[in-house]
Chains A and B, each alone.
Chain A
Amino acid sequence: MILSLALVTLLMALFGGWLFRHSWGARPWEAQAAGQSPHRQAPPGATSARVGLGVILAVATSLFALTVSAYLMRLEQGSDWRPLSMPGLLWGNTLLLVAASLALQRAWRAARAEKPAALRTGLAWGGGLSLAFLTGQGLAWWQLTAAGATLQASPAGSFFYLLTLLHGLHLIGGLVAWWRAWRRLGRGGDITAGVELCALYWHYLLVVWGVLFALLLMT
């Protein structure tokens, strides 16, 4: 619990600190001086979509941090903890996800450089590799179940399924956004903003997977 406490408090403190900074020197009761024009509020780089993605990532971080700390709490508490032997397949899956993330990064760069062909390839690879990753995760589940490490068998197993499921569901959510960008690209629309969000989201999921995988390996 300490971990998620630290993370969520950090998130809140960052947010709170940012708000404090904006408000510290303000003298709100003073009206705009006559003749001075109020300017628009949102800083130039911050589009609604980007800020929205930031919020989504904060929510997801809270979710994963809490699940991980539940995992750690359970781990500390039980004398009956039997570690789960991780299927080797997971290493391959990790590579797939890294590749997917890289492909989307390339797609984003291509979109900014207005290279439609590279954008198309990058986007296609990104989606394809992600699907491969999901399939791989499914295979890993199947391997584990076949080896008798079912959801019911041990707490370690239960948490493995839960963590991978949550991660997989987030990726599927990302694929929905990816699919919309892909269709829009097919119709010839501008998808720079969409590809950017996809790439950022994929990097985030890659980091989350890295943390989860390292955690699962270590325990």
Chain B
Amino acid sequence: MIIAWVVILLTLGSVVFYVLSPWHLTPLASNWGAMDSTIHITALVTGAVFVAVNLFLAWVILRYRHRADRRAHFDPENKRLEGWLTLVTSLGIAALLAPGLWVWGAFVSVPEEAHEVEVVGQQWRWSFRLPGEDGELGRVDTRLIDETNPFGMTEDPAGLDDRLVMEPRLLLPMGQPVKLLLRSKDVLHNFQVANFRAKMDLVPGQVSYFWLTPTEAGEYEVACAELCGIAHFAMRAWVEVVEPEVFEVWLAEQPTQADWLARANPDPTAGQAHYASCAACHGANGEGNANIQAPPLAGMAPWYLSRQLELFRRGARGTHPEDTQGQQMRPFAQQLADGAAIADLAAYIAGFEPVQASPAESGNARRGARLYRTCANCHGEWGQGIPATQGPRLAGLPDWYLIRQLEHFREGIRGRHADDPYGNQMVDMAQMLVNRRAVEDVVAHITTLTATEEE
């Protein structure tokens, strides 16, 4: 009895919810409006069936509920009725399938004029490669990938003018079809931009692809949609759809493979001169100074130092009003003229002997060790840092510095700037530290780490 009314209410309620729900398809930004149409067709047809079957069910329950004076009919089968139902269902299914296959036909045929962009996924970040003047991407080989050759470029001359985009931000020209070639360095990933509708997995060992034509200018977030490990949820990037002229300018700014090969080796001696102004706070040997809250620099890898100095210089770090120490640091970073100066300085600092942190004053290192399981994926089991994940070394950093930075990440004081993708990632990850105690615990564990396996 009640059940029949509940079925009716749920059925109608579901329809109302469909209409009033605050969650709809994201605003479309590509040519795949046809996908939206197939969704709407499917929703209409299935919605009609949903309402019809369930209302009939409810009516049947109301009409034929048990009465002692009544007997059920005995009808084993009804060929006509069953035949009609089968026929109508088959027609309905065909009506759903036909447009689906039609659109899929378009999806699998990439237009001739589409330009190519390679999307490279790895745990847990994105990078991109675009062909240069020759319109052709150079051949790559996963076995050649290392820190100096992050794309695994071979000696293929076609690759010399390839534009390498290391930061997870891609620009696409509006109105031009693009074929996205998807490649993974390690595990499965999926390049999903909800507004584009189209998506595809990245599979190591092969190149998969799909195509689209961006139609709406704007910034769209890329989310990884295939489980790829602990930081899956924090593997984001941005795609910006811009006018073709803007795209050309941006593309020309990106370094080519030839630039990458020809980059000057950093010069530690030149860096030594720059270090003079750092030494006052960070110490002559980069040992840091707790009294003025200057962290040690010794032991930090050049790629990390360069990135942070670049962020300070650009104002992506050290500009938040609550980041007092960062604000102090920023003018010093601005004294460095260009990327070469930063690289030289970083190379000089890399020569310092790492320091050992003294054990933390607060926190429970045993509880911290359990939390650190997750951190270890990017920062290394012994806090040694992993360049591939852009996770810096933690061993040797003092407790007061770690606690402050983790609190800043947690509160979005550090890392929330749009130009700081890995900072954003750390903000997401730091959410696992739910309170001050958790922060102190994990820091207590980190200060026991020595960057190597031995105890």
| Chain A 18-45 near chain B by CB (<8 Å), digits 1 or 0 | 0000000000110000000000000000
Q: Across the interface, which residues of A come within 8 angstroms of B76, CB to CB?
A: 28-29
Q: Across the interface, which residues of B come within 8 angstroms of A28, CB to CB?
A: 76
Provide the bound-state CA to CA distance between A29 and B77, in Å.
Answer: 9
- Closest chain A CB from B82 CB (angstroms): 14
List the B residue with the shortest CB-CB distance to A30.
B76
- Closest chain A CB from B387 CB (angstroms): 28
- Closest chain B CB from A149 CB (angstroms): 22
Provide the bound-state CA to CA distance between A29 and B76, in Å.
Answer: 7
Provide the bound-state CA to CA distance between A28 and B76, in Å.
Answer: 9
Please, how many residues of chain B have a CB less than 8 angstroms from a CB on the other chain? 2
- Closest chain A CB from B284 CB (angstroms): 51
List the B residue with the shortest CB-CB distance to A77.
B206
Q: Across the interface, which residues of B come within 8 angstroms of A29, CB to CB?
A: 76-77
Provide the bound-state CA to CA distance between A101 and B76, in Å.
Answer: 52
- Closest chain B CB from A70 CB (angstroms): 15
- Residues in B49-98 with C-beta less than 8 Å from chain A: 76-77
Provide the bound-state CA to CA distance between A28 and B77, in Å.
Answer: 11
Provide the bound-state CA to CA distance between A200 and B434, in Å.
Answer: 65
- Closest chain B CB from A79 CB (angstroms): 11
- Residues in B241-266 with C-beta less than 8 Å from chain A: none
Q: Across the interface, which residues of A come within 8 angstroms of B77, CB to CB?
A: 29
Provide the bound-state CA to CA distance between A29 and B78, in Å.
Answer: 13
Provide the bound-state CA to CA distance between A177 and B76, in Å.
Answer: 47
Provide the bound-state CA to CA distance between A166 and B76, in Å.
Answer: 49
Please, how many residues of chain A have a CB less than 8 angstroms from a CB on the other chain? 2
- Closest chain A CB from B163 CB (angstroms): 28
- Closest chain A CB from B347 CB (angstroms): 39
- Closest chain B CB from A55 CB (angstroms): 31
- Closest chain A CB from B206 CB (angstroms): 8
List the B residue with the shortest CB-CB distance to A28.
B76
- Closest chain A CB from B381 CB (angstroms): 25
List the B residue with the shortest CB-CB distance to A29.
B76
Provide the bound-state CA to CA distance between A101 and B378, in Å.
Answer: 58
Provide the bound-state CA to CA distance between A29 and B347, in Å.
Answer: 88
- Closest chain B CB from A76 CB (angstroms): 13
Provide the bound-state CA to CA distance between A82 and B76, in Å.
Answer: 62
- Closest chain A CB from B74 CB (angstroms): 8
- Closest chain A CB from B418 CB (angstroms): 41
- Closest chain B CB from A130 CB (angstroms): 40
- Residues in A111-148 with C-beta less than 8 Å from chain B: none
Provide the bound-state CA to CA distance between A29 and B73, in Å.
Answer: 14
List the B residue with the shortest CB-CB distance to A78.
B205
- Closest chain B CB from A49 CB (angstroms): 37
- Closest chain B CB from A81 CB (angstroms): 14
| Chain A 70-109 near chain B by CB (<8 Å), digits 1 or 0 | 0000000000000000000000000000000000000000
| Chain A 48-63 near chain B by CB (<8 Å), digits 1 or 0 | 0000000000000000
List the A residue with the shortest CB-CB distance to B76.
A29
- Closest chain B CB from A26 CB (angstroms): 11
List the B residue with the shortest CB-CB distance to A27.
B76
- Closest chain A CB from B78 CB (angstroms): 12
| Chain A 174-199 near chain B by CB (<8 Å), digits 1 or 0 | 00000000000000000000000000
- Closest chain B CB from A29 CB (angstroms): 4
Provide the bound-state CA to CA distance between A4 and B76, in Å.
Answer: 39
- Closest chain A CB from B207 CB (angstroms): 13
- Closest chain B CB from A206 CB (angstroms): 37
List the A residue with the shortest CB-CB distance to B75.
A29
- Closest chain A CB from B139 CB (angstroms): 13
Provide the bound-state CA to CA distance between A29 and B75, in Å.
Answer: 9
Provide the bound-state CA to CA distance between A209 and B3, in Å.
Answer: 60
- Closest chain B CB from A10 CB (angstroms): 25
- Closest chain A CB from B140 CB (angstroms): 15
- Closest chain A CB from B205 CB (angstroms): 9
- Closest chain A CB from B316 CB (angstroms): 44
Provide the bound-state CA to CA distance between A119 and B362, in Å.
Answer: 81
- Closest chain B CB from A215 CB (angstroms): 24
Provide the bound-state CA to CA distance between A202 and B77, in Å.
Answer: 47
- Closest chain A CB from B154 CB (angstroms): 15
- Closest chain B CB from A28 CB (angstroms): 8
Provide the bound-state CA to CA distance between A189 and B76, in Å.
Answer: 52
- Closest chain B CB from A77 CB (angstroms): 8
List the A residue with the shortest CB-CB distance to B77.
A29
- Closest chain A CB from B142 CB (angstroms): 12
- Closest chain A CB from B224 CB (angstroms): 25
- Closest chain A CB from B143 CB (angstroms): 12
- Residues in B227-285 with C-beta less than 8 Å from chain A: none
Provide the bound-state CA to CA distance between A29 and B74, in Å.
Answer: 10
When A and B form their complex, which 3 residue pairs have the shortest distance between CB atoms, in order from nearest? A29-B76, A28-B76, A29-B77
Q: Which residues of B line the A interface, CB within 8 A? A: 76-77
User: What are 3 sample pairs from A and B whose C-beta atoms fall under 8 A apart?
Assistant: A28-B76, A29-B76, A29-B77
